[in-house]
Structure 1
Amino acid sequence: MKTFNVPIIYRSPLITAIKNSRKKQDRMKKDFTPTVLDFGPLRILLARHFGFCYGVENAIEIAFKTVEENPGKRIFLLSEMIHNPHVNNDLLAKGVQFIMDTAGRQLVPWENLTPDDIVIIPAFGTTLEIEAKLSSLGIAPLQYNTTCPFVERVWNKAEQIGQQSYTVIVHGKPGHEETRATFSHSRSNTPTVVVKDMAEAQLLATFITGASQAAEFYERFKGQYSEGFDVVKDLQRVGVVNQTTMLATETQGIADYIKNVIMDRYALTDENVAERFADTRDTLCYATNDNQSAVTGLLQEQADLAIVVGGYNSSNTSHLVELCEEKLPTYFIAADDQMISKDKIRHYDFHHKQELNSDVFLPEKDVVTVMMTSGASCPDALVEAVIRRLLSFYGLEQQIEQVIENYK
């Protein structure tokens, strides 16, 4: 796989050494057991896969290279390039401006842009409507395009099955930049509807079977279906694609559920189900799969708590938190300085979208075991900083260098 020129500030000597060692031992990525860092009174179980994915490294390389190669020019990002505040703040510090926030609200009026300006498309991609808007302003929309190749693969699959007269069901968060982009690209080829979770998939199924009145669909899925959507005709042949950072198991569960509903509705078998249900399994992102599978492997071990590092608005990170929360106390943090002391931590409750301050953190016991992972947009340097911070509570910071040597 291609390697990228990512700024050294995001790299970690410790994490790089560990990842390189694991890669040599497990080139086929079949081993999802964690890396055990034993510091005596503190044991850290590090997930097999975590941190920057291919799409994120690609976006970072393009964005920073664009800034370096265009001194004096105004450079804009459509919105946050990735969902990590440290990376986005580094770009802002270099003079890059955001045109919109993550919800699509305008921060810089379109009329302020000129043909001489540079506009970078973020890793999530963008809508066809925004591409057309940039073109109307004399700006080549795809000249500085950091869209993740795996997101584009979803678009291609949606187009492919759309051309075969399947309606596309997108599993994603309706307000997320990637889902908005995928919805835009898909609806240009075929009727498209977005479902955010299994509950909405089950609701949609009632319109497939006719259990719910067609007229109700337009209210229940308001803002989530393409213009001219015919709920009776357009749900007879379908395929499911996803926002690449969703829970892979949930996407597969939704696809399997809709497939079974279609099979029952039209008395189909495995041999002829393709008449009405498209096979779209290859739209699941490898990094999403690997990181989530690594957490599943991590959770086979025993630990006192889990720490997940990443941006609060990162979808893929929140799903790692969800997985960990099912088994043990989990703290979602954006940086090491949120761990105030052994007893105090500031962390994020993404269910209620609020930061919490907890006076209970590391338990008082002879050996504390902490599970750790991070989102696909989180720099490895932040993970090392979190490890160093934890070690500082036990006076063990100096042991980091020896661990690096052990993995070389």
Structure 2
Amino acid sequence: MSTNLISSGTTAREKVNLRTPDVMAAVQQQVESHYRSDIVDKVRRAGGIISVGDTTVRLAKQFGFCYGVERAIDLAYAARNHNPEVNHQIASLGIKNLTGKNKQADISELGPEDVVIVPAFGTELSIQQQIKDRGCQIVDTTCGDVMSVWKRVRKYASESATSIIHGKAEHEETKATSSRALGDGSGHYLVVLTLAETDYVCDYIRHGGDKQEFLEKFKGAYSPGFDPDVHLQTVGVANQTTMLRGETEEVQRRVRQAIIDRDGPELAEKTFRFFDTICGATQERQDALRELLNVPMDLLLVVGGYNSSNTSHLAEMGEEKLPTYFVLNASRLVSANEIKHYDLHEKREVVSHFWLPHGPTVIGITAGASCPNNLIEETLIRLFELRGISRQQLELAA
């Protein structure tokens, strides 16, 4: 598949295929040198288990970079390597965030000489248009699974069905999907995160209620002009692709039942729609962790970014079964008595003590879809160090 650098300036630019054999060969060398791990590769080939002394670590069968993230990284590196001018610019200025909490630059500062990389989870239509209006070159790395959701919510809008999106309203992917749910401008959406929120919506579908209370409860999570008395008559369920499949299926089941209770089963065939939009890689990682959790272990380490939705769900799954620590990287394993980890309930990094057991210990490790293998390796090395086993001993055992 090829991706183009696009300019919307008055003079059309030649479309550039980044995925040429020579460019991608160079890219692969760079990506592997930065993110690959010999130790992790060896452990995987050995069945995902490594034991040294009285310490055993089990890796989930699927973890780390998904195809969409790998593709996004490849294209980002390809954009840098395509021509010396772009490479020099990025080397001298660095890649800067244009949106989100870590925003480092403003779209209004951009011009035709700038390259904008759209991440794997996409971006909002309004932001995309602003970038085009600035005449920037665009490298779009949006994941195909995300684009499938966009196609579905656009279809809902064309059929005058409101998209009920299971996800986090503030997440960049959900924002991007919500913007597509508007269709030609007449569509609507409502974002629900929890089953409790879903039940509230279902009660409103069945019985109606206090409109102002509804709008206040979901403030920031619905489309402009959304009216629950009007726009919950015909609905379609979609989701942020990194949500737990079981939760999304339950959201779908409850909303469908509410529509049936209100309209009857025959009419509900026309007033309710659903499409499975869970990311395949997300599901693989959840299934692999579920399998790993069936094996007796003393604790689980989940490695990845604290703002990562798919990684957070892996940590949730672990917490249901055994002591689980959601860590950013190896540096959070401070000592055998102290670990810094993200608390999903307090929504902040906390410190726990006496986390690492004495004596024979079995530890599980998994990671989110945006976590590279080199971070897993560093975590693995640090973990064994805290158990008195050197990197050299670990490499010999792998």
Give the TM-score, by structure 1 length.
0.84
Q: Does 1:234 align with 2:234?
A: no
2:40 to 11, 15, 38: 15
- Residues 297/93 of structure 1: CA separation in 2 closer, same or farther (3 Å cut): farther
Contact 1:63–1:120 (Cα < 8 Å) also in 2: yes
1:33-48 correspondence runs (5 A)? 35-48=48-61
User: How far apart are the structure 1 equivalents of 2:282 and 2:108?
Assistant: 38
1:95 matched to which residue of 2?
Answer: 94
The structural deviation recorded for 1:154 is: 0.7
The structural deviation recorded for 1:353 is: 2.8
1:168 to 148, 153, 163: 163
2:246 matched to which residue of 1?
Answer: 249
| One-letter amino acid matched to 2:374 | A
Q: Does 1:107 align with 2:104?
A: yes
Q: Does 1:377 align with 2:374?
A: no
**C-alpha deviations, 1:22-50, integer Å up to 9, x for none?**
6xxxxxxxxxxxx3322231011211111
**C-alpha deviations, 1:142-171, integer Å up to 9, x for none?**
x31111111111101111233233211111
1:69 matched to which residue of 2?
Answer: 82
2:151 matched to which residue of 1?
Answer: 156
1:188 matched to which residue of 2?
Answer: 183
2:356 to 353, 356, 362: 362
The structural deviation recorded for 1:130 is: 0.7
User: How far apart are the structure 2 equivalents of 1:400 and 1:157?
Assistant: 48
Contact 1:53–1:287 (Cα < 8 Å) also in 2: yes
User: How far apart are the structure 1 equivalents of 2:209 and 2:92?
Assistant: 52
Contact 1:75–1:95 (Cα < 8 Å) also in 2: no
**C-alpha deviations, 1:348-401, integer Å up to 9, x for none?**
223323222222121122x11111101110001111111111222322533433
The structural deviation recorded for 1:111 is: 2.8
1:135 matched to which residue of 2?
Answer: 132
1:310 to 292, 304, 325: 304
Q: Does 1:291 align with 2:285?
A: yes
Helix, strand or coil for the counterpart of 2:252?
helix
| One-letter amino acid matched to 2:52 | F
1:219 matched to which residue of 2?
Answer: 216
Q: Does 1:401 align with 2:384?
A: no
User: How far apart are the structure 2 equivalents of 1:288 and 1:131?
Assistant: 26
User: How far apart are the structure 1 equivalents of 2:210 and 2:389?
Assistant: 65
Q: Does 1:301 align with 2:295?
A: yes
2:121 to 109, 121, 124: 124
Q: Does 1:348 align with 2:345?
A: no
1:330 matched to which residue of 2?
Answer: 324
User: How far apart are the structure 1 equivalents of 2:244 and 2:72?
Assistant: 22
Q: Does 1:59 align with 2:44?
A: no
Helix, strand or coil for the counterpart of 1:144?
strand
- Residues 19/304 of structure 1: CA separation in 2 closer, same or farther (3 Å cut): closer
| One-letter amino acid matched to 1:255 | Q
1:278 to 273, 298, 317: 273
- Residues 92/43 of structure 1: CA separation in 2 closer, same or farther (3 Å cut): farther
User: How far apart are the structure 1 equivalents of 2:66 and 2:84?
Assistant: 28
User: How far apart are the structure 2 equivalents of 1:324 and 1:206?
Assistant: 32
1:208 to 190, 205, 208: 205
User: How far apart are the structure 2 equivalents of 1:166 and 1:117?
Assistant: 39
User: How far apart are the structure 2 equivalents of 1:351 and 1:49?
Assistant: 26
| One-letter amino acid matched to 1:398 | Q
| One-letter amino acid matched to 1:61 | D
Helix, strand or coil for the counterpart of 1:263?
helix
Q: Does 1:261 align with 2:258?
A: yes
**C-alpha deviations, 1:79-127, integer Å up to 9, x for none?**
xxxxxxxxxxxx8997112223x24x75323332112111111112111
| One-letter amino acid matched to 1:391 | F
User: How far apart are the structure 2 equivalents of 1:187 and 1:7?
Assistant: 40
Q: CA RMSD in A?
A: 2.5
| One-letter amino acid matched to 1:15 | V
1 or 2, which has the higher helix percentage? 2
User: How far apart are the structure 1 equivalents of 2:155 and 2:45?
Assistant: 37
The structural deviation recorded for 1:244 is: 0.9
Structure 2's unaligned 5+ residue stretches are 2-18
The structural deviation recorded for 1:403 is: 4.6
Aligned residues: 370
User: How far apart are the structure 2 equivalents of 1:93 and 1:68?
Assistant: 14
Helix, strand or coil for the counterpart of 2:295?
coil
Q: Does 1:50 align with 2:63?
A: yes
The structural deviation recorded for 1:75 is: 9.4
| One-letter amino acid matched to 2:38 | P
Among the aligned pairs, what percent are the same residue? Answer: 39
The structural deviation recorded for 1:286 is: 0.5
Contact 1:14–1:403 (Cα < 8 Å) also in 2: no
Contact 1:74–1:96 (Cα < 8 Å) also in 2: no
